[in-house]
Amino acid sequence: MRRSMLLFFCLLVFVVPTYAQFTFTSIDFPGGTLTTARGINNHGEIVGAYRIVAPRHAMVIKAGRYSALAPTTVLGTTYSEAFKSNDRGDVVGQYSGEDGLYHGFLLRKGILTTLDFPGASDTYAFGINDSGTVVGYWDLLDAEGNILAYHGFIWKNGSFEEVNFPGSGDSSILGINARGDLVGAWDSDITSPTGHGFVCSKGQCFNVDVPVDGAIQTQVDDINANGQVVGAYIDADGATHAFLMAGKAFISFDYPGATSTLAWGINSAGQIVGTYHTADGSAYGFLAQPPK
């Protein structure tokens, strides 16, 4: 990646303060002890996970109605979480298998397909667009379960392709939009204390580090058809905050009163979903509505 391209991207960004421009709604599965919101499509359908008793299970919210996702499959009997859905209703995510490892999944028209990158220990499916292209990452573990490496992938029509941020030691792809633009995270080495986000569009990849003094981690989690991206970063004090990058603007925001906030998904209307934590450690989803 040429340095001039990185500088051009960074110089376009300016900071817009606070979260006053959003209207927030908490997402709490009825009777649940944990709720996450990971993705929102252009119909306003939200996917994530809920827990009443452990483990958590994948869920979908349609027209304000909460439902377990494919409860008669492995998604309803073991740990599972949905991460994104497209406008056709296809859903991707991951579940834990009897082997103790994580497997990606694609749920399409009631049919559950397991996605395992060849040779991987774990496979995580994080994004899908309307053409059915799935993105995510896979890892390699040692005998003690420590992560040795992780790499991004694209899956389409039954075939995997490894994709990494140029020059990275490790990469994860966390979102894809209708144009095929990719977003995610990368680092220089598995032991690196600093992480970075990235955007890849039209064959060009750009590093993304939030313009916040002292920030040590940046992760880009989703990108919509308008090129708006959302994600999360860790500041110098170790606190986690959500962000939105829209054109020239960088907006850092937190769910009101939360101790940490992560933005996971954004649709073409600019609606953002994510997860926040409270002081007692409880986790809830949220919907952030942009101003009309």
Identify which of 174, 180, 220 has the alpha carbon closest to the alpha carbon of residue 203: 180
Residue 173 included in any domain: yes
* Tokens matching residue 261: 């906030």
Distance CA 268, CA 82 (A): 20
Q: Is residue 262 part of a domain?
A: yes
Instruction: List the chain residues with pLDDT less than 50.
Output: 1-19
Q: What is the pTM of this model?
A: 0.93
Q: Domain for residue 281, yes or no?
A: no
- Whether residue 287 lies inside any domain: the answer is no
Taking residue 16's Cβ as centre, other Cβ atoms within 10 Å add up to 15
Looking up residue 239, the CATH number of its domain turns out to be 2.120.10.30
Q: How far apart are CA 199 and CA 171, in angstroms?
A: 12
Residue 21's pLDDT is 80
- Which pLDDT score, from 0 to 100, does residue 20 have? 53
Pick the closest to residue 33 from 1, 8, 57 (CA basis): 57
User: Would you state the pLDDT for residue 291?
Assistant: 84
Pairing of strands 249-253, 14-16: parallel
Assess if residue 292 is contained within a domain. no
CA distance 168 to 162: 13
Cα separation, 268 vs 256, in Å, equals 24
Between CA 250 and CA 254, with CA 251 as vertex, the angle to 5 degrees is 150
Type of residue numbered 262: L
With respect to residue 112, please indicate whether it lies within any of the assigned structural domains: yes
Structural domain harbouring 67: 3-276
Question: How far separated are the first and last CA of the chain, in Å rounded?
Answer: 38
85 DSSP β-pair partners: 91
- The pair of structure tokens assigned to 198 is 């990235």
Count how many domains the chain has.
Answer: 1
Q: Look at residue 81 and tell me if it is in a domain.
A: yes
